[in-house]
Structure 1
Amino acid sequence: MYINAKRIIDVLLAFVGILLLWPFLIIIALFIKLDSKGPIFFRQKRIGKGKSTFYILKFRTMKVDTPNDMPTHLLEDPDFFITSVGKILRKTSLDEFPQIFNILKGEMSIIGPRPALWNQKDLIQERDKYGANDVYPGLTGWAQINGRDELPIEIKAKLDGEYVKKIGVFMDIKCFFGTIISVIKSEGVVEGKTLQAGEEVASTTEQREKSYK
């Protein structure tokens, strides 16, 4: 029952968000255009509910020659690719705002597992163990407020599974306010390779490199 109500809540909140934030979104768009050449928005192929694919929408925060299908935390030198305005947008998560339109289109939810890149086979397979590919991906989620980019794939998938198991009003509210706190503290954001991800990062990087050959 909550799943049906969740979709209605998503649509209502997305509409309210657009009505309240559209002047702010226009200002962000202008700063992006003034800061660097390229489009305002960035589209990227992601995995949705039932492992269907869709194109996620974000404000562009990186230069147009950045590798398109590699997570930012796996780039050798992310600062080289991230624009000046992009650094601010990423730190505050404002680059995620355009996903309101993905929510309205029925491709995403406000709360849910973050949508994996189409070529993140390791994460997709790990999520299958917990049924995390069977719900709509979210603008934010349980894993996002419990480590985000710092998490190894196995832990991230397990947290996504916990969300699916406990999905409900209380869990969504907890994720929503937890996200606000995480954004204020800038927790879990990793720009470039770190030792914290260990062997998982090295393995995933190798897979990404193969996909470009």
Structure 2
Amino acid sequence: MRVTVRLFAALRERAGRDALELDLPDGATAADALDAVQDLARGSSLVLAVNREYATRDTVLRAGDELAVVPPVSGGEATPTHAAVVDRPISTDDLLARVRDPRAGAVVTFSGTTRDVDHLDYEAYAEMAQERIARIVEEAVARHGLCAAAAEHRVGRVALGEASVVVAVSAPHRPEAFLGAREVIDRIKAEAPIFKREEGTWKEESVPPTG
């Protein structure tokens, strides 16, 4: 099926045009369309709209749909989110920069680090894990009225004292910031298909919900 992707501001300038035509398989989502233009979207916190209605990455597209991909509006009312599964050290400073917002009176970060052992090894069903983390972050923003939220989980070997997961959130007030950060990390641990090996043994810590 064919969909139109509308581009604005910096994305339009990078592409040198204001629209792209994409051929996608039936059942494709907004995330699939974004994957096709990921080089244009580097470093941007994106807002999505399908047929002029705000949408999420999980929104299913249909033939003839118009997907608008825009950076946060200049009025500052966007709620940017970021989620990633990475095979490199996680930069807390980068996540803090992603949640910086003039409306925020509180910023909370959480880092889960390797302790007691020389290293931990992490493996993930990366595509599903990233989508699940993105959904968790988006839902926490909506539920707690956060200004912004970001989370990254690392795969591969994570040495003693290094972070395997980092969450950052910003909110107008500290109760919402603490609640939002706690929800994001707790749900990542419970729901994201990421697997940990400690001293040669794969740990089975929780069964993700299937409903």
TM superposition score normalised by structure 1: 0.25
More helix by share: 1
More strand by share: 2
TM superposition score normalised by structure 2: 0.25
